[in-house]
Amino acid sequence: MAIYGIGTDIIQVSRVAAVMERTQGRFAARVLGPEELAVYEARKARSEVRGLAYLCTRFSAKEAFSKAIGLGMRMPMTWRAMQTLNERSGRPVIVTSGVLKAWLDERGITAHVTITDERDYAVSFVVAETK
């Protein structure tokens, strides 16, 4: 394996909270993939704070991933085509779909992600590799 790219991102939770308020919650539906959105809704129903933290870590992971693969937020990279889901152990994993998945498969790119959050910030780090 060879490193294709590395990306990191930090998000201030209060800024995402302000965007959520301004968009009346539509921001979450715009940036989260279907499985992420279901987890977000469940966490938010239990605790607004934990729901917001989840949204922030996933948004941060998307930003870090887009940097690691060198595309930024342009096709085939879209918010909803890349999801950060959790294995049963809790380990976060990147799951892609559609044109983005095909683009990555053509290049033999896989990626690893780590995420963390505190009260004020969410941080993600992604390493993309080629076979």
Residue 9 counted as an annotated binding residue: yes
Q: Which two tokens stand for residue 21?
A: 């308020």
Residue 105 counted as an annotated binding residue: no
Q: Among candidates 131, 87, 128, which has minimal Cα distance to 108?
A: 131
Q: Among candidates 53, 103, 60, which has minimal Cα distance to 81?
A: 103
Q: Bridge partners of 123?
A: 10, 116
Q: Which segments are annotated as binding site for Mg(2+)? A: 9, 63
Q: Which segments are annotated as binding site? A: 9, 63
